Amino acid sequence: MPHTWDPDRYLTFADERGRPFVELLARVGAAAPVDVVDLGCGPGNLTARLAQRWPGARVRGVDSSPEMVATARATVSGPVFEVGDLRDWVAGRGSVDVLVSNATLQWVPGHLDLLPSLVQCVRPGGWLAFQVPGNFDEPSHTIRRDLAAEAPYDAHTAGVAVPSSHDPATYLEVLAGAGCAVDAWETTYLHVLSGDDPVFTWVSGTGARPTLEALPDDLRPAFEQEFKRRLRAAYPPGPLGVVLPFRRVFVVGQVAA
């Protein structure tokens, strides 16, 4: 079921969403790459960091969302941005020196099977680095899933895109089998959020967006109201604000020279 992305909503927590990208990039040891690609570049604010890290490289950003690419083109100078499906890019492109994918592969069903193809897109001695959320058993996701399965919403939400990922050990095994030296780890961030219903604001820009867009206009307000109520109960405000634990999985592989 198709859905669209809202760059402005996504960028509401730009600093929190960007921190994993910075920590992923810190483990990439490329010195002077020529071709660098960001698969799933979103609004391009993080792709700009690739151009800053390697100013002599040709940096490209690819995203399946025309809205995200339009924002990237309008706000980020240097990298070249294009609309494209990650799976089509793998099938039709040549080799690169650094291939980065941040918080994207979780939206690709069966992405474990895609990883060897991504490795083949990287030149010998080059780097593949990706990060995916690993929090899909947390209330921010389970509440949406359970509510979407209730009537009358279930008639509209069946078959919507749902993100998923694997543990670091699984990714390590797959990339090592594809000939990479692998560094895989996980981190749980404790994001301290403020504002009205901040967890809803967070998830409505990412994991919950396909579900919300699938609902007709006459049902969406009631769904959102109940969703917010359950999220407030699961993430009550404290002295510092609302704390959102967020586990992320990181994988960096260097292709054998």
The reported pLDDT for the residue numbered 206 is 86
Those residues whose C-beta lies under 8 Å from the C-beta of residue 96, and which sit 6 or more positions away, are: 33, 35, 36, 37, 121, 122, 123, 126
Q: List the one residue out of 59, 57, 34 whose CA is nearest residue 46.
A: 59
Please tell me the predicted confidence (pLDDT) of residue 8: 66
Which residues 6+ apart lie within 8 Å of 137 measured at CB?
none
pLDDT at residue 2, rounded to an integer: 56
Task: Kindly give the parts of the chain with pLDDT less than 70.
Answer: 1-12
CA distance 64 to 82: 8
CATH numbers and ranges of domains, the chain? 7-255 (3.40.50.150)
pLDDT number for residue 3: 62
Q: Round to whole Å and give the CA distance between 87 and 67.
A: 19
Kindly report the CA angle at 80 between 82 and 24, in degrees rounded to 5?
A: 95
